[in-house]
Structure 1
Amino acid sequence: MTAPTQRTIELMIKQYTGEITPAEQAELEDLIAQASPAKQQWYRDMLDPLKLAEAMAFAQGEDLAKYQQQWEANARQQWKEQSRRRLHRSLRWAAAAVLVIATGLGIWQWIHRQPSQEQSRAIAGVTEDGESFFLLPGGEKIELGSLTDRPTKAGNALLSRHNNELICQAAYTEGEKPGNIRLFVKHAIYTLLLHDSSRITLGQRSAVQFPDHFNKGERVVEISGEGYFEVKHKLTDADTARVIIVKNALDTLPQHLVEVQALGTRFNIRAYANDTRTRITLDEGSLQICKNTTRIQLHPGEEATITSTGITEKHQISKPGEASAWREGRILFTDIDVTTIMNDLKRHYDDISIAVAPEVADEKISLHSFYNKPIGYLVDIMKKNNSNIAIKMEGNTIYVTPPIRH
């Protein structure tokens, strides 16, 4: 297995920094498409903000040899089902590739670039024990476990925590330029209370970037993963109503970019980097979805599905609240494609692998249960209730294939 080409990595760097040209974007997509399945998976992982953040967290402040040992130990846990020889070969290649990204081509320096640049893109990650944390524009890391009810000064903000609610209060001088704070959560659900009283509930393995204070212009928040937004109509009673703009722009390829303009509303957005579709479901109020040159209005009880080709579907949902049932630990998928459901299970059950046959990747199936159930129990439910697929679990791997016709 050969390492990723330097040209591919260079283009990925430009992708992350927003400096890639349309021609280079097309070249990157061609290079990824021509790569082996193993390389394609690695490229997708590096577009997953959580996995990239884990690699970066290992790299900070460590010499290269120690970093590689740590990264290999972590990867060994993820790939323990592979044969010893294949595992060793994969680890050497993957660790070397991450080292190229983290050191030789300068992503780490880019992460800590000066706040005066157009956009602060501080990447937050997770510690080895699975705890989540904030990362501030200047690079300071604040683990959520260290926060209490007593506010902690964090740049131009005050951060505190009460159980699973995170509170961000503004602490800035009038006229000061906002800086971006990024938050990752891993194995928990957290609600973030912004200083304008808007709330964002983040699902597992999700990230959000937000300014430490809002100026009088538009409010912009970026997300990767799943989030439930409860948008405050305006900052104060005397303030004029202002739109909040939510983008799935964190670590997302340009062709997948979606913009949501909301005003006094409640909605769910599901925009994981390794999913082929972004889903936006409106519970209350109204919002506008913008994709390329297309704009649609969403009304309560409606859901929009967006792919790289555009807004492909808008429909009335049959079961209100289903899209945001994850906030209560429930799994409620009705007529959803196999790939989306399998990706969701992989995010919640770390020790499993997924193998989906291409023929059934887009098959619509259903799964209704709870995330605290054993994975084998969920596989049995899917096997019983979905005749259009064959599903089985061998060891820690779930296999989904076309059904056997007799």
Structure 2
Amino acid sequence: MTQKNRLADLFKKYFDKTATAEERIELMLLISASDSDEELATLLEDAYQAYVPQQNPFILGKREKMLQQIQAGIADAEHHEAAIKIRHKNGWLKYAVAASILIFMAIGAYLFTYKRTTSRSNVKIDFAPGGNKAMLTLSNGSKIILTDAKNGKLASQGNIAVTKTHDGEVSYDASASTGPEKGARPSYNTITTPKGGQYQVLLADGSKVWLNSVSSISFPTSFTGKERHVEITGEVYFEVAKNKAKPFFVKAGSQEVQVLGTHFNINSYNDEPDIKTTLLEGAVKIRQLNNSFSALLKPGQQAVNKLSGPIQVRDADIEQVIAWKNGLFQINDASIEAIMRQAARWYDVDIEYEGKIPQRQFSGKIKRDVKASEFLQMLTYFNVHFSIEGRKIIVKK
């Protein structure tokens, strides 16, 4: 048996609680025998892949972070000369590895416990993931179900051609526009996504917009005058075309964001406790419309607007914020309630809680194109269970 296979075998026995005292010592010595951090990292990674439950994509999203923590633990222990040591015929070995492997084993044992729990929590009824679904409401009140519409020209709004592209995007082409007639009001369109929907829009000024589930954007078919104004609900990501002569304004509830040209995300769902505006590049100014509170954001910052006091500015986890746009659920220290709000919007289901709501924080990621059963199964690894009645998911402790 090779060293790598033996390591994986010993990991399994340790998790199964079938390892003898001699095998536990052998496991420590086997890991300690590596003279290079690179070799050690490879051994740990191979053993992890061989035994930790790979069918759970939520856990896979944590793998790199776990291994980084192990390596960080080694470096920290070596720096502080921790007192954990293992005796070997060649002298004192890498005592830091002993500390790090204990951390890794604790994580592994935790995962293995919930792997066995999962078999008792399979979801029998399933829900498909969301997809490109939206409705376009034209200025005259006509409605077009974009999900069913064929690619090509959908409508004309004045001199603007409204087109559905082969990528499933709605595009407003202003290349032939000479602007509205004198005295005419701008024509406004609205795109709305339902539960289980998402969509992308190319505005007449070249700005790109992504809508998450249960979201909407109202906008003029062409931007005339000295400013560009749109209004949103839900969660929307923007890549605004730069035009210093025409600042871009986004209204979300009682908040307004002003920008010249930038990439940013706004989460303004009514069932969330606050409005979060996250800046990726450029600069934005946020102000509350019902008072004098405002804030300026720099790239990498997030404004948290609770609407009842000053706007809080903090560093943002950009990867987590825009994960939805990139086809992922990414959760960092989130409550079960926050997680299930996302699930409700994406899988078009209702959520109910039975008994005391689990008061724990969860982290990890999973692709958004998985069925609800896979999404729910990842949570059973953390001893959260479910039952389903119709389109209602009941969360149980």
Please name the residue that 2:218 is paired with: 209
Determine whether 1:313 maps to 2:316. no
Deviation for aligned residue 1:287: 0.6
Q: Within 1, Cα distance between the matches of 2:248 and 2:153?
A: 28
The correspondence for 1:393, drawn from 379, 382, 386, is 386
Q: What secondary structure sits across from 1:138 in the alignment?
A: coil
SS in structure 2 of the partner of residue 322 of structure 1: helix
> Which residue does the alignment assign to 1:262?
259
Aligned pair count reads 257
Distance (whole Å) between structure 1 residues aligned to residue 347 and residue 282 of structure 2: 34
- Contact 1:191/1:201 (CA < 8 Å) preserved in 2? yes
Structure 2 CA distance for aligned equivalents of residues 279 and 138 of structure 1: 33
Q: Distance between the aligned counterparts of 1:182 and 1:357, measured in 2? A: 41
**Counterpart of 2:293?**
294
For the pair 1:278 / 2:275, whether they are aligned, the reply is yes
> How far apart in 1 are the matches of 2:354 and 2:201?
35
Partner of 2:245: 241
* Equivalent AA in structure 2 for residue 143 of structure 1: I
CA shift in 2, pair 1:307/1:356, >3 Å: farther
Is the 1:391–1:399 Cα contact (8 Å) retained in structure 2? Answer: no
Report if aligned partners of 1:339, 1:356 keep a CA contact under 8 Å in 2.
no
1:143 lines up with 2:145 in the alignment: yes
CA RMSD of aligned residues (A): 2.8
2:381 partner SS: helix
Judge conservation of contact 2:215–2:233 (CA < 8 Å) in 1: yes
Measured after TM superposition, the shift of residue 263 of structure 1 is 1.5
Q: Deviations over 1:292-313 (max 9, x none)?
A: 3111111111112222324553
Aligned ranges for residues 117-136 of structure 1 at < 5 Å? Answer: 132-136=134-138
Cα offset for 1:353? 2.9
SS of match in other structure, 2:245: coil
C-alpha change, 1:381 and 1:148, in structure 2 (3 Å) is closer
In structure 2, distance between residues paired with 1:367 and 1:277: 23
Q: Name which of 350, 353, 356 aligns with 2:351.
A: 353
Could you tell me how far 1:271 is from its partner in structure 2? Answer: 1.2
Q: Which amino acid aligns with 2:385?
A: K
1:264–1:150 distance in 2 versus 1, CA, 3 Å = same
Q: 1:375 to 1:131 in 2, by over 3 A?
A: closer
Give, in whole Å, the separation in 2 of the partners of 1:135 and 1:351: 25
Separation in 1, partners of 2:374, 2:170? 33
Instruction: Structure 2: state its 5+ residue gaps.
Output: 1-124, 126-131
Partner of residue 375 from structure 2, selected from 374, 378, 392: 378
Contact 2:287/2:295 (8 A) holds in 1: yes
Greater RCO (CA < 8 Å, at least 6 residues apart): 2
Per-residue deviation, 1:272? 1.4
The match for 1:152 is: 155
- Structure 2 CA distance for partners of 1:302 and 1:152, relative to 1, 3 Å: same
Q: CA deviation at 1:135?
A: 1.0
Report which of the two structures shows the higher radius of gyration computed on alpha carbons: 2
Q: Does the Cα contact within 8 Å between 2:136 and 2:190 map onto a contact in 1?
A: yes
CA contact (8 A) 1:185 1:204 kept: yes
Structure 2 residue aligned with 1:336? 334
In structure 2, the residue matched to 1:223 is: 232
1:180 aligns with 2:180: no
Report the 3-state secondary structure (helix = DSSP H, G, I; strand = E; otherwise coil) of the residue aligned with 2:141: coil
Amino acid at match of 1:178: P
Query: 2:48 — aligned with what?
Result: none
SS class of match (2:185)? coil
Q: Is the 8 A contact 1:360 1:400 kept in 2?
A: no
Runs of 5+ unmatched residues, structure 1: 1-80, 82-129, 235-239, 250-256
Structure 2 residue matching 1:150: 3-state secondary structure = strand
Cα 1:312–1:392 change in 2 (3 A) is farther
Residue 230 of structure 1 contacts residue 266 of structure 1 at CA under 8 Å; is this kept in 2? yes
Aligned-residue identity in percent = 27
- C-alpha separation in 1, matches of 2:285 and 2:298: 9
Q: Secondary structure at the match of 2:377?
A: helix
How far is 1:382 from its partner? 2.9
| Cα 1:394–1:359 shift into 2, 3 Å | closer
Distance in 2 (CA, whole Å) between partners of 1:315 and 1:225 is 21
For 2:354 and 2:164, the matched residues in 1 are separated by 40
TM-score by length of 1: 0.57
Letter in 1 for 2:141: G
Q: Per-residue deviation at 1:279? A: 1.4
CA contact (8 A) 1:231 1:266 kept: yes
Q: Deviations over 1:198-224 (max 9, x none)?
A: 111111221110012212222111111
Contact 1:288–1:297 (8 Å) recurs in 2: yes
Kindly provide the amino acid, as one letter, of the partner of residue 148 in structure 1: N
Asked if 2 retains the 8 angstrom alpha-carbon contact of 1:164 and 1:189, the reply is: no
